[in-house]
Structure 1
Amino acid sequence: MPDIQVIMTELGWPLAIALAWLSGELMHRWTRLPRISVYGLVGFFMAQALPAALSSGASSNVTMLANLAFGLILFEFGYRINLNWLRINPWIAVSGLAESAATFGVVYLISHLTGMPSLTSLLLASLAMSTSPAGVLRVINEEDSSGQVTERVLHLVAINCVLAVFVFKVVVGFWVFQTSGSLTQAISHSLIELLVSAAMGAVLGFIVPAVLRRLGAIGQDGTIAFALGVILLVAMARAFDVSPVLATLTFGLAARHSRVAFSRTERNFGGIGELLTVLLFVFAVSTLEWERVVAGLGLGVVLLLARFVVKAATVAAFSHAGGISWRKGLLTGIALSPMSVFVTLLLEQTKYMGIVLVDELAALAAMTLLLEVVGPIVTQRALIWANETPAKEEH
């Protein structure tokens, strides 16, 4: 007779994914809350109840699937970014740079004033700059949202995520410098890694459309071709120890601007993409421990409020210059709340270097859990208040 603990370990992830999906569907039907908020909540409680069953290492299959799921979302996200829009209206880029810099500065200042070491404060501030493309895009797709606020949110998320990855890698380089002693090597390694990541994504972004054009398959569904490209890119990023985040985002950007129009590409990459999305949002909180969340709750709430106010106020301040009303600018900044998935996978990537930063950032654990649940709800409400979601049938 098999041991019950062995059975639960084998069934842990399939059970968690099934329960999260079912709970998400039921709660969305009853309350219209975003499904991903429920996925995260179920994942966290299951991870506390069955920690051994939902364990995952940096090289585990679950981590690989989570990176693949994030890669698919980032590709779709990048495919929706129009760089020409930023050229025509540079104030969008300016507001993105300003809100990212302001968020970094405020979070660093608060962290440092509470007695946190400078390097830890820098890490926390660099991660707080970001907004999770997975959370934002999932809510936009779920609500079928479209309009000025929606498009500006997408472009601002892309800007502050690229900045967050860059600053985070540089800070990690300083962290490495403390042990290696070579500052030049630490910084150059981070910069080279980012350049290689972007180059890999850009090259694949031109190769895949070229292959489809050569095969005469431009008029057909591009979902499979793009999905295979993302799988290959994530695997290459892991093999070469570079950032799959920047690589897959650049892949989507390059594919969008290769001037090839496809008849259709399934939103969220169809059923498999939906399944991987459930796994991704369960995985995002599976590494959190209740004790660490409680320990960092006080500072985490303060930092979240500061981050929320700074992002909303800064984007609103540039709203008139960018061609929209103050109200829509404020709602755009409010919609930038989600952060969890991006932060979790960025921290997982540092484990390849033998660096475990989660233990140093108790406040980040609380921020991750709170934004996993609350962030998508805030984004959903901002899009609804902006009147950019079609009227939903009440159930």
Structure 2
Amino acid sequence: MNGWDANLATLTVWPALLWLAWWSGERLQPRGVPRVSVYVAVGLAGSAVGFAPEPATGGALALLAQFALSLVLFELGCRIHLGWFRHNPWVLLIGVVQSLAIFGAVYWALGAVGVGAQWRPLVAAVAVAASPASLLRVTHDLRAAGQVAERVLHLAAIQCVLAVLLVKGVTGHWYLSAAGDWTQALLTSVYAAGLSVALGVALAVVVAAVVRGPFEGATAPTVGYALALVWLTVVADALRLSPLLAALSFGVLLRERRVFVANAQRDFGSLGWLLGVFLFVYVGSRMSWEALAHSNVWAAAAVVLAARVAIPVALNAVLAVPSGTTVRKGALTGVALLPMSAMTLLLLERSIALGLPPAAQALWHLTAALLWLELLGPWVTQWALVAAREAAVARPATPGSAPPVPPAPSSGG
């Protein structure tokens, strides 16, 4: 904000934006407007009038956004049932194939619309990522439970993992091809991905050993897991690892070891709700309005949107029956996977912070795609879950309250 002290702006304007986002979300959500879309819209409005974070405070806000998304990915990990993949490998196959197909299709199509070869691999890699924050928020708000809801979350987790791995691979390839630096290539790819998972697994082992119930209420275990994730996010950031991949690994292993305390607050209660509002306002505030004046940015958005609609819908519909569901529910699963923004934005901002030169241009090319998919994506997911008859829409959910227990995954999906 020109003429404003950055610290003063952070202390005064941002809390006001967060309150406005929360208030607007509560007023519009009962009318069928997804809270997520409202939060992003407020962030966009703030960005349009110059309330985006300045470079002086952007680093601290970016780290807080990483922590907010780490909470989401941890909770997503705690809902992932690896046994489902063993009993029904079709779900795992669909997740991997559709992720690689989106990467390949976006990479090829971006070349056809004139995007430079130096930017295409990174744009295609981050375009694979779903938005776990949007998907979980919409699922919780609708109190959705059923085949489509569970498949969407499992497939989103696969897409997020592969997006991080693809970004690390592209980063390593860039350092190798641009500078011939094998050491830097390995440090930014194999080292970063492997140690991120190892850090999350190690923390899960420690937590499994020391955090045991019973707890008298839900607050104590919720605070315990949140503090563990604070440590995980800060350490992963300091070691130049991926806090997002580490948080997801942490949650998945706790689920497998059956340690996650049953009475911990879903969505981290009020803390998770507050950080969720911040995350989506932050995403909206990072909009580069100047980029929207360029036609190739809109061309890139059309490419990403087409790939993220056509490939998941077609693949989930074609493989629906072998994977144990109906063609209709398979198609709706593909539709519901549309949201993409928070994960993508933070992956690119992380790459920029780590000094990857193509990352800034990749984020610039994705401006319009992020705008449409984060604003409209939650609406599409909401429609798909309602169409699948898996949304208990009679009473809007309050973040932190317990949604219906999802059905136990079976080999039939």
Count the aligned residue pairs.
Answer: 388
* SS state at 2:4 partner: helix
Cα RMSD after superposing both structures:
2.1
Which residue does the alignment assign to 1:16?
Answer: 17
Shift of 1:316: 1.3
* SS state at 1:118 partner: coil
Distance (whole Å) between structure 2 residues aligned to residue 291 and residue 141 of structure 1: 35
Which residue does the alignment assign to 2:365?
Answer: 363
Distance (whole Å) between structure 2 residues aligned to residue 194 and residue 151 of structure 1: 26
Distance (whole Å) between structure 2 residues aligned to residue 76 and residue 378 of structure 1: 22
> Where do 1:103-122 residues align within 5 Å?
103-122=102-121
Distance (whole Å) between structure 2 residues aligned to residue 319 and residue 234 of structure 1: 37
Q: Is the 8 A contact 1:219 1:262 kept in 2?
A: no
Q: Where does the alignment leave 5 or more consecutive residues of structure 2 unmatched?
A: 397-413
Shift of 1:145: 0.6
- What are the Cα deviations for residues 162-200 of structure 1, in whole angstroms up to 9, with x where unaligned? 111101111112222344322464145311111100011
TM-score by length of 1: 0.93
Bigger shift: residues 150-159 or 42-51: 42-51
Which residue does the alignment assign to 2:341?
Answer: 340
Shift of 1:85: 0.5
Instruction: Sort the Cα spacing of 1:291 and 1:189 in 2 relative to 1 into closer, same or farther, 3 A.
Output: closer
Instruction: Sort the Cα spacing of 1:56 and 1:149 in 2 relative to 1 into closer, same or farther, 3 A.
Output: farther
Distance (whole Å) between structure 2 residues aligned to residue 198 and residue 13 of structure 1: 33
Q: Does 1:83 align with 2:85?
A: no
Distance (whole Å) between structure 2 residues aligned to residue 328 and residue 144 of structure 1: 18
Bigger shift: residues 81-90 or 216-225: 216-225
1:386 to 385, 388, 408: 388
Which residue does the alignment assign to 2:229?
Answer: 230
* SS state at 1:389 partner: coil
Q: Is the 8 A contact 1:126 1:168 kept in 2?
A: yes
Q: Is the 8 A contact 1:170 1:187 kept in 2?
A: no
Shift of 1:218: 5.9
Instruction: Sort the Cα spacing of 1:68 and 1:179 in 2 relative to 1 into closer, same or farther, 3 A.
Output: same
Shift of 1:291: 1.5
Distance (whole Å) between structure 2 residues aligned to residue 102 and residue 61 of structure 1: 35
Bigger shift: residues 248-257 or 108-117: 108-117
Q: Is the 8 A contact 1:120 1:361 kept in 2?
A: no
- What are the Cα deviations for residues 46-97 of structure 1, in whole angstroms up to 9, with x where unaligned? 112024x533568632112111111111100100000000000000011111
Which residue does the alignment assign to 1:282?
Answer: 281
Q: Is the 8 A contact 2:36 2:134 kept in 1?
A: yes
Distance (whole Å) between structure 2 residues aligned to residue 348 and residue 57 of structure 1: 15
Shift of 1:143: 0.9
Shift of 1:351: 2.4
Bigger shift: residues 359-368 or 180-189: 180-189
Which residue does the alignment assign to 2:312?
Answer: 311
Bigger shift: residues 36-45 or 184-193: 184-193
Instruction: Sort the Cα spacing of 1:297 and 1:58 in 2 relative to 1 into closer, same or farther, 3 A.
Output: farther
Distance (whole Å) between structure 2 residues aligned to residue 231 and residue 82 of structure 1: 24
Bigger shift: residues 235-244 or 20-29: 20-29
TM-score by length of 2: 0.89
Instruction: Sort the Cα spacing of 1:57 and 1:147 in 2 relative to 1 into closer, same or farther, 3 A.
Output: farther
Q: Is the 8 A contact 1:96 1:315 kept in 2?
A: no
Q: Is the 8 A contact 2:283 2:341 kept in 1?
A: yes
Q: Residue 368 of structure 1 aligns to which amino acid in structure 2?
A: L
Which residue does the alignment assign to 1:97?
Answer: 96
Q: Where does the alignment leave 5 or more consecutive residues of structure 1 unmatched?
A: none
Q: Is the 8 A contact 1:288 1:365 kept in 2?
A: yes
Q: Is the 8 A contact 1:48 1:289 kept in 2?
A: no
Distance (whole Å) between structure 1 residues aligned to residue 217 and residue 200 of structure 2: 22
Q: Does 1:323 align with 2:328?
A: no
Q: Residue 41 of structure 2 aligns to which amino acid in structure 1?
A: L
Distance (whole Å) between structure 1 residues aligned to residue 211 and residue 9 of structure 2: 44
Distance (whole Å) between structure 2 residues aligned to residue 95 and residue 253 of structure 1: 19
Distance (whole Å) between structure 1 residues aligned to residue 325 and residue 90 of structure 2: 11
Distance (whole Å) between structure 2 residues aligned to residue 349 and residue 382 of structure 1: 31
> Where do 1:2-41 residues align within 5 Å?
5-6=4-5, 8=9, 10-29=11-30, 31-41=31-41
Distance (whole Å) between structure 2 residues aligned to residue 197 and residue 58 of structure 1: 26
Distance (whole Å) between structure 1 residues aligned to residue 197 and residue 228 of structure 2: 14
Q: Is the 8 A contact 1:198 1:250 kept in 2?
A: yes
Distance (whole Å) between structure 2 residues aligned to residue 184 and residue 239 of structure 1: 19
Instruction: Sort the Cα spacing of 1:255 and 1:360 in 2 relative to 1 into closer, same or farther, 3 A.
Output: closer
Q: Does 1:49 align with 2:49?
A: yes
Q: Is the 8 A contact 1:358 1:365 kept in 2?
A: no
Q: Residue 332 of structure 2 aligns to which amino acid in structure 1?
A: L
Q: Is the 8 A contact 1:220 1:262 kept in 2?
A: no
Q: Is the 8 A contact 2:173 2:185 kept in 1?
A: yes
Q: Does 1:166 align with 2:165?
A: yes
Instruction: Sort the Cα spacing of 1:270 and 1:56 in 2 relative to 1 into closer, same or farther, 3 A.
Output: farther
Shift of 1:123: 1.1
Distance (whole Å) between structure 2 residues aligned to residue 178 and residue 19 of structure 1: 47
Percentage of matched positions with identical amino acids: 39
